[in-house]
Amino acid sequence: MPRLALRGSLTRVRPKLASPALQSPPAVAGAGTSPFPGAKSPIASLGRILYAEDDLEAHPLWSLTLTRAGYSVKLEEDGLRAWDSLRSGEFDMLVTDNDMPGMTGLELAAKARLEGMRLPIILASGSIHLLDVADYGWLDFATLLKKPFSPDRLIEAVAKALCSSSGESRGAGVPALA
């Protein structure tokens, strides 16, 4: 490798590679896959998340947060679209707001459970405090996130839920509000 002397010391210089793609650092295992239907990425993700949220201004924040943490994310803006996506069976987790047009997050979670879907579900909503959580224990939420919450709190909840889910029930009842 060529050497270049600077102020009496030897420094190695890497030759410039012809292709810009070859100059990029190698892909890190666990980085997110493409959120676009039909697109395949050679990089594995930590999990595929369907995020149902009707606040379109929040989409970029949650998408970027989860993608940078290594997850593949698909966002839907209402409960009906989220249900259509969820039925594809290609997701490892559902994160859903409750107050959405078309179908609430509770209705979405109920449909998923009634269809036998065992994926972890996080209910992330500002109206969680209005719920009598004892009535919803059968939905087996991984956790409840009360809005507003930080990106770090979301990543922590997602990671914990995915780690503790192994296709079996995570326990009886609904966890305490986060």
Are 9 and 22 in contact by the 8 Å Cβ rule? The answer is no
**pLDDT tens, 139-159?**
999 999 998 999 999 999 999
DSSP 29: T
Are 79 and 104 in contact by the 8 Å Cβ rule? The answer is yes
> Taking the complete model, does pTM exceed 0.75, yes or no?
no
β partners of residue 93: 49
Q: Which domains does the chain have, with CATH numbers?
A: 45-178 (3.40.50.2300)
**pLDDT tens, 10-54?**
443 333 434 333 333 333 333 344 444 444 444 567 999 999 999
β partners of residue 6: 9
β partners of residue 124: 145
